[in-house]
Structure 1
Amino acid sequence: MLKILICTTKTDRFMQLKAIVQELYPSEVILAKCKEEVTKSIMLHSIDTVLIDLPFTSDQHEIAYVLKLLNRYPDLNILLLLASKYVYSVRERVEKYGVFVISKPVQKEILAQLLSFLRANSFRFQNYLKEQKKLKNKIAEIKLVDLAKCLLMENEFLTEAKAHRYIEKTAMDERKTRKQIATEIIQRYQSI
């Protein structure tokens, strides 16, 4: 289920956008009437997508706010709904950061396609984060095993190959992971 935050000062505009979004996708749609409510709502509701429909004047401070929001929440999809006279100048400045800009009034078909794209993009980003976490864990394990090998080489006068073999064999014999064996070796030599 999508969790969409619509930032607008107009209740009727919120109701129109909410109706369109909920017709297209099963979603939870939340209202924020000002920029301060946006940050609070993102933290409270684990928002996927923010639609910002505020009186936007292409001001540098407004763009800085959007980029700050994206920097703070990198997995957030941000969609700016702007008056057509601002679309191209703002799009030029924010598109490279992954912010989407469309002109008002919003056409239902365009919003449907964009939400579909944003949803797919969110899934892809979540998969990327999972893969990144796996790689970080693998790197941490390699560092731990390398430290344990160094300690074995230094204290037991083993070659690197024999230290590596010792960790591998001990892990198999004791039915533990290499990480667990490396941690035990590090603790053993650091307590000396």
Structure 2
Amino acid sequence: MSAGSVLIVSGKPESAGSMESMLVKEGFYPVYCAHSANEARRQFINMQPDLLIISTPLPDEQGIDLVFDAHERTSAGIVVIARPEHLFDMQASLEKTGALILPKPINRLTLLQTVRFALSVRNSLTQLRSERDSLKKRMDERKVIEQAKWTLVEKLSMSEPQAARLIQKRAMDLRLPQIQVAEEIIKKYE
């Protein structure tokens, strides 16, 4: 699985460094580190990470707000590593973000499995969003074509099949998509 970019956010540079070297050894690349929530937010401007690992608490905040910001600004899979006494509160707060929350201390195998799972979920969601957007675009185009067809029925007293055929024929003759022909018809008659 190609992981794309990973951003590790940890207030402890040694902890971030050990996670970074482990992920690089496992084939994840590139791996970036930020040592505060604000530094991570600045990095969101320059990159769209595929995976975000946040080890809480951070020097400038608990980390919950960063998860919400990351959820809004990126499509990254999010893994949060928290102290056991904060797990319940974090799970309740972050439930809608889809972040995976693990208790400290974390072992290598658990982190790797969770990271792979987060990426798998992220990839599935990205594919679903793409399919949804494609369907929405096709439905929107269909609505415009239908509007043009009914405009021809109304303005030129055509039957519905005649209007549909006219749009199809004009699109083929002009080597244009039907949506473009439909938009021109709407502009012309309305």
TM-score, normalized by length of structure 2?
Answer: 0.86
Partner of 1:25: 27
Pair 1:42-2:44 in alignment: yes
Q: Which residues in structure 2 correspond to 1:50-89 (within 5 Å)?
A: 50-55=52-57, 62-73=63-74, 75-89=75-89
Q: Which amino acid aligns with 1:63?
A: I
CA contact (8 A) 2:4 2:29 kept: yes
Count of residues paired in the alignment: 187
Q: Which amino acid aligns with 1:132?
A: R
Q: Which amino acid aligns with 2:108?
A: K
TM-superposed CA distance for 1:62, in Å, is 4.5
Distance in 2 (CA, whole Å) between partners of 1:164 and 1:155 is 14
Q: Secondary structure at the match of 2:5?
A: strand
User: Tell me, which stretches of 5 or more residues in structure 1 are unaligned?
Assistant: none
TM-superposed CA distance for 1:129, in Å, is 2.3
Q: Percent identity?
A: 24
Q: Which 4+ runs in 1 deviate beyond 6 A?
A: none
Q: Secondary structure at the match of 1:21?
A: helix
Q: Which amino acid aligns with 1:43?
A: I
Distance in 1 (CA, whole Å) between partners of 2:179 and 2:143 is 10
User: Tell me, which stretches of 5 or more residues in structure 2 are unaligned?
Assistant: none
Partner of 1:7: 9
Pairwise CA RMSD: 2.3
Partner of 1:125: 125
TM-score, normalized by length of structure 1?
Answer: 0.85
Distance in 1 (CA, whole Å) between partners of 2:39 and 2:22 is 22
TM-superposed CA distance for 1:47, in Å, is 0.8
Per-residue deviation, residues 99-125 of structure 1 (Å, max 9, x unmatched): 111111221111111111122122212
Partner of 1:116: 116
TM-superposed CA distance for 1:11, in Å, is 1.3
Per-residue deviation, residues 68-126 of structure 1 (Å, max 9, x unmatched): 431333x2222111112222332233234301111112211111111111221222122
Distance in 2 (CA, whole Å) between partners of 1:26 and 1:63 is 25
Q: Secondary structure at the match of 1:79?
A: strand
Q: Which amino acid aligns with 2:33?
A: L
Distance in 2 (CA, whole Å) between partners of 1:96 and 1:126 is 17
Per-residue deviation, residues 28-65 of structure 1 (Å, max 9, x unmatched): 11111221111221221221111111326xx9x75344
TM-superposed CA distance for 1:136, in Å, is 2.0
Distance in 1 (CA, whole Å) between partners of 2:175 and 2:116 is 46
Q: Secondary structure at the match of 1:51?
A: strand
Distance in 2 (CA, whole Å) between partners of 1:55 and 1:126 is 29
Distance in 1 (CA, whole Å) between partners of 2:77 and 2:182 is 41
